[in-house]
Amino acid sequence: MTIEKEVKRLAQRAREASSVLGTLKTGAKNRALEAMAGAIELNAAMILEANAEDVRRARGRGLQPSLIARLALDDAKLRKVADSVRQIAKLPDPVGRPLLERKRPNGLRIRKVSVPIGTILIIYESRPNVTADCMALCLKSGNAVILKGGSEAFESNRAIFRTMDEAARKKGIPAGAFEFVPTGDRAAVKTLLGLTGTIDLVIPRGGEGLIRDVAENSRIPVIKHYKGVCHVFVDRKADFSKAESIVLNAKIQNPAACNALETLLVHRDAAKSFLPRICAALAEKGVEIRADKSTRALVSGVKAATEEDWHAEYLDMVLAVRVVPDIEAAIAHIRKYGSMHSDAIVTRDKKAAATFVSKVESACVFVNCSTRFNDGGEFGMGAEMGISTDKLHARGPMGLEELTTYKYVVTGNGQVRK
């Protein structure tokens, strides 16, 4: 069988399963999720062995350390994956929620009710935990899911998929609810992206190149989880101790994450006091600083920033730093160079905070806290399908509610329109 025929067949299986998934009771979904979490723990040794093979190959190919860090699993990470699946089981069922209800003068009862999207294609890179998160979130939200992971994590993804799929089927989840694309051939993705009428939504997760390629070639609606050029603006009325803590956390807690800090903006009136302090703290942690002329006049030994640095998503221990004359200049910089992902202000000035929140158009705007909180788990969603930077349908972490759409149910008693 050709690759094109195989992926069409698995997509059709997912489509057929989606009609059953949308009608499953909450208890049935939760029992399957608990079994899936337990299976991850029982099969940890097998999953870790598969992951070790992926890591070995990645190192042999010279994959950069930040990507290997995303790829690698250990016992603690696997426990976290299982815990995340259990957390999803405990969350309210997003299907069947009443969103609106009204009664018309003619007696018609109109209800707006949440329903699953249907069949979702996830195309992703590097992180094997995405396999587990997507399977769990799609099951709880009543969607079938087709998983197309990156070649660098193929063995890990396949091991997690088989483990969770087998556990779910034993609990009555229909075959086809989860489908795994068993090839890295580009023809498979090209075929999948053309299956309008079979697949309802595509969610790409990965680097800028992957997302652009999917968005440009898909005939199916795409929700883009675009790159994270994230900013922290330290206002002139900031608490410098809090600002230092926030900047360090946002940059170094996980520099390879999409919500990690990439550009630090500092108000001109705060620069002389704050910049030497924060740059010394960052350098001590091993962060390379690339700065504008005003910063370099206050801090010695830092590299000059280029225009490319303001656009950069480093995903590494590198930070761009710029002094701005006021809050409006900080907002203008974010609007020009940001990716509408995660941006923060540190200030004790309520008016400045309100201005920043109202004018920065990012999916998540933070006041006096780290950009690293832009995460499904931190938002109480259990996990996420990714962090959407689109403005339509879903923004920020995509959890259970974002994996539903709605329909109107209109009930009458023989009414006809006049």
Q: Which residue range is the domain that position 99 belongs to?
A: 3-225+398-411
**Is there a domain that residue 385 lies in?**
no
Same domain, 39 and 159: yes
**Is there a domain that residue 384 lies in?**
no
pLDDT of residue 273: 97
d(CA 170, CA 149): 24
Same domain, 17 and 149: yes
Cα torsion 263, 376, 120, 196: sign: negative
- Residue pair 166/65 in contact (Cβ under 8 Å)? The answer is no
Neighbours of 63 (CB within 10 A): 17
Same domain, 112 and 234: no
**Is there a domain that residue 382 lies in?**
no
**Is there a domain that residue 388 lies in?**
no
pTM of the model: 0.90
Same domain, 262 and 291: yes
DSSP character string of 166-222: HHHHHTTPPTTSEEE-----HHHHHHHTT-BTTB-EEEEES-HHHHHHHHHH-SS-B
CATH code at 258? 3.40.309.10
Same domain, 66 and 201: yes
User: For the chain (length 418 residues), average pLDDT per consecutive 10?
Assistant: 91 98 97 98 98 96 84 95 96 97 97 98 92 97 97 96 98 97 89 97 89 94 91 98 98 93 98 98 97 97 97 95 98 97 98 98 97 93 88 91 96 95
pLDDT of residue 200: 98
Q: Is 355 left (phi over 0), alpha (psi -120 to 50) or beta?
A: alpha
Same domain, 366 and 334: yes
Same domain, 216 and 73: yes
> Cα 231 vs. chain centroid, distance in angstroms?
18
Crossing angle of helices 75-90 and 44-60, rounded to 10°: 120
Same domain, 217 and 238: no
**Is there a domain that residue 277 lies in?**
yes
d(CA 131, CA 123): 10
| Contacts with 302 (C-beta within 8 Å, 6 or more apart), sequence order | 279, 289, 290, 291, 295, 296, 321
**Is there a domain that residue 37 lies in?**
yes
Same domain, 185 and 92: yes
**Is there a domain that residue 184 lies in?**
yes
**Is there a domain that residue 304 lies in?**
yes
Same domain, 131 and 253: no
pLDDT of residue 308: 97
Number of domains in the chain: 2
CATH code at 202? 3.40.605.10
Same domain, 297 and 221: no
d(CA 120, CA 203): 7
pLDDT of residue 193: 97
Same domain, 190 and 311: no
